[in-house]
Structure 1
Amino acid sequence: MNTSQYRRAPAGMPSGVPSRAFAIVGSVLAAVLVLIVAAGALVSGFDKTAGGEVGVVRNGGWLDDNRVRQVVPAGSARTWTGLYSTMHRYPAQQRFYTITADPARGDKTGVDVVNTPSSDGVEMGIEGTIYFTLNLNAKALEQFDTKFGTRQFRGVDGTLRYAYDGDEGWSSFLDAIVRPVIDNDLRIQISKFRCAELVSSCALVQNGAQRAPAAGPGDPDAAGQANNTNIAKVQEAVNESLPKDLAEMLGGDFFEGIKFNLARVTLPQAVQEAVNKAQAAYAAVSEAQAKVAQARAEADANKTRQQGYNACSACAQIDIIKALPPGVTTYAPGAGATVPLK
């Protein structure tokens, strides 16, 4: 029989003490662990926002719902937001959305221009910037988060993001929801003008270009002023219609201070190349006309000069002597006659 199974406790120590000690230590460790978890959960229930962002807090506890709990204003102090709640952070300052052919400046990757036809069917390229601010009213923010903060939007890189996922998520939201409204407004306004009414050089390559002196040898300044006036009309019309269309399409007044700045209107590459060739041709014609005018003026001057020589033969000889190159010492007009010049 193995007697080691029946070892006795040391003298003076009651049997069962080690088991009770281990139980006590285990209970203490468990209590400490529970306190650590509780403290962590308690600390995570506080949050704050930076100066340029506003937060929409949603419940997220195990036994709680996922409704909006509160709205935390921009630049807040540490605020109690509840255990296991989540905060959706949106921009609180003025933002802008740029449409441009410069890949380094646009909000979309690569060249990004709104292409839309004019009333006479020429594809026009529109570049500009839309300035706006998110409506910071608490009720509006709750509605905005419910409509657009609970779904994802695919970015230009193919990744799905929420609107509150930093600048990338916000840009994905603008591209998917706001950009179509902008494109539609520009399409409507540009279709009200002919190409030449927005870009004067467009008249050079259209039918009847020979009857469009504003783009050729006529008064380009007047044409340019008219184009600038029409571009200003497009900009004003977009500024008037865009806020209404955004509110209607998004289902609420979620943006404030909306302002569109039309930077420029461009022609398609093929049309622009044709314009450049036409302008070069006009330049060549102008140069030829200048040469003709110069030759005519020289002929008139020679005719007048000859009439003077006929009246004064000595004057002709004097002019000949004046035209002799430097260094000539003797002039021989002919018939054995010589005239010393020095």
Structure 2
Amino acid sequence: MEYRQLGASGLRVPALSFGTGTFGGTGPLFGAWGTSDVAEARRLVDICLEAGVNLFDTADVYSNGASEEVLGAAIKGRRGEVLVSTKTGLPTGDGPGDWGVSRSRLIRAVENALHRLGTDHIDLLQLHAYDAATPVDELLVTLDMLVRAGKVRHVGVSNYPGWALMKALAAADRHGWPRMAAHQVYYSLIGRAYEADLMPLAADQGVGALVWSPLGWGRLTGRIRRSSPIPAGSRLHDTAQFAPPVEDEHLYRVVDALDIVAAETGRSVPQVALNWLLRRPTVSSVIIGARNEEQLRQNLGAVGWALSPEQVARLDAASASLPAYPHTPYHQQEGFARLNPPLV
């Protein structure tokens, strides 16, 4: 397993990490993802650790905290071998204090997460979504307090707009508070919006990307093609309403290219899609998920090899889409290429 720095922080993370949304799954969304109990979760953790995957990502909203509880039980007795990442900020109830990242809510959320996980610290705490109601200084001084208390080691965000992330980074620098080391983002061959604004920000400010749903919400598993409808048993029947949208023709164009590259490399479509992401700028770790051991071992096969430049170019071309203003490709005009050199 390759290990990378998480942005500009000192934390080293595996190129592949494991998302535990399938642990203890209940409800229309998480129940469709998976329902791993403690015994199965422990087996999946075993396989991850054997492969060098030691970062496990969860959230308090995953099955109303059940994911954290099952993960905590699965890593019991080997906490020193793993890194735990969890998220908070999304609504966990209907009360006025059940959402956001105010000081009182954030402190309570961390204490509850520590209890469910059965640990005394969180390696990476991420704010699950931007909370416009909480002043950035209140948020950051609370995170500083949690870090100084040893309850949180590193901090990050998820699904943040670029301006809000930059505002938090600037305030952290100004006051000496903890900087956001990570941004957990949606990024895939059928969802490349991250590249327009958030990727240049991450490269400039040293924020590592943790990629969620790298297979486009299950659309890049190799089971969906032009001639094939969504197969029976696919979670998309139940969860498509929650997924980032994608036009059918764009999806099929990407899958066509993936099929060609998969045949050339002798790898599966998901392995090719994951390997492409692993070579993208600012990506610190790609979060894989699995409902069972077979899926996990398949996804782990995305590392240890590399696509050729020609194969990367084919996938780039097939997945390219026109970004929104002001990120439209005015660089095609004279002068803009010099003003906006490509990231490496």
Fold match (TM-score > 0.5): no
Q: TM-score, normalised by structure 2?
A: 0.20
- Structure of greater Rg: 1
Greater RCO (Cα-Cα under 8 Å, separation 6 or more): 2
More helix by share: 1
More strand by share: 1
